[in-house]
């Protein structure tokens, strides 16, 4: 083994561990928005969360599979969607940095999912398994509280979206989307946003042009 190969073999694991700890620290900062973790609790998440790198268009979950993980997004963006009987995809949710991706129904019931979760961009994520998360709930009650608040916030977000779909015009829904996700409008293809809003890309293009003229 030459000197270059020797240093690569020895440095790469160290660098990987270093960047993995940076991801864990970002997760720790996220939990600080709820109930901050002490050193023991931080060590607990460092021991059970696994970092993964996800390619664009790679699936984190496919219909028919059981959702085995709670996934925290460090960088990148994913979409959660369903496919109807006519093979048309309907975007339900976008998940970006500092948010969680999971099918709650499948994760907790351990039944096959009806949803897909796919990377829209290349991603770095942290994942925790079903059993490890339940173990955290049991041994560190703070996690039970933190995840309850996280799930409650997501429920409120989805409830607001349902109300928007019932009572708001397509233009109002688009403006709400831009207000809620100000950075996603430029990151996502028009077709993905249109699917989320329940309209055609052509109609969304018309809405955007009309807003520019106002």
Predicted TM-score (pTM) of the model is 0.87
Nearest to residue 61, comparing CAs of 20, 21, 18, 100? Answer: 100
Rg over CA atoms, the chain: 20
CATH of domain 3-167: 2.60.120.10
Q: Are strands 89-95 and 50-54 parallel, antiparallel or unpaired?
A: unpaired
Domain limits, the chain: 3-167
pLDDT per residue of the chain (214 residues) written in tens, 0 to 9: 555 554 445 544 444 444 456 899 999 999 999 999 999 999 999 999 999 999 999 999 999 999 999 999 999 999 999 999 999 999 999 999 999 999 999 999 999 999 999 999 999 999 999 999 999 999 999 999 999 999 999 999 889 888 988 999 999 999 999 988 888 888 999 999 999 999 999 999 999 999 888 7
Q: What's the rounded Cα separation, in Å, for the pair 105 and 128?
A: 16
């Amino acid at each position: 083994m030459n000197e270059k190969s020797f240093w690569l073999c020895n440095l790469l694991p160290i660098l990987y561990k270093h960047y993995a700890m940076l991801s864990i620290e970002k997760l720790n900062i996220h939990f600080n928005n709820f109930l901050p973790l002490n050193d023991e609790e931080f060590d607990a998440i460092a021991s059970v969360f696994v970092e993964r790198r996800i390619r664009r268009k790679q699936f984190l979950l496919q219909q028919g599979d059981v959702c085995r993980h709670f996934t925290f997004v460090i960088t990148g963006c994913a979409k959660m969607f369903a496919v109807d009987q006519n093979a048309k995809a309907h975007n339900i949710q976008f998940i970006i940095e500092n948010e969680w991706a999971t099918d709650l129904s499948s994760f907790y019931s351990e039944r096959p999912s009806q949803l897909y979760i796919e990377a829209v961009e290349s991603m770095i994520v942290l994942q925790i398994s079903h059993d490890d998360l339940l173990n955290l709930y049991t041994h560190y009650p703070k996690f039970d509280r933190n995840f309850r608040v996280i799930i409650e916030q997501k429920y409120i977000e989805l409830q607001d979206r349902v109300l928007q779909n019932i009572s708001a015009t397509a233009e109002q829904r688009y403006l709400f989307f831009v207000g809620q996700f100000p950075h996603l409008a430029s990151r996502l293809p028009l077709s993905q946003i249109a699917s989320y809003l329940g309209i055609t890309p052509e109609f969304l293009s018309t809405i955007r042009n009309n807003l520019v003229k106002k």
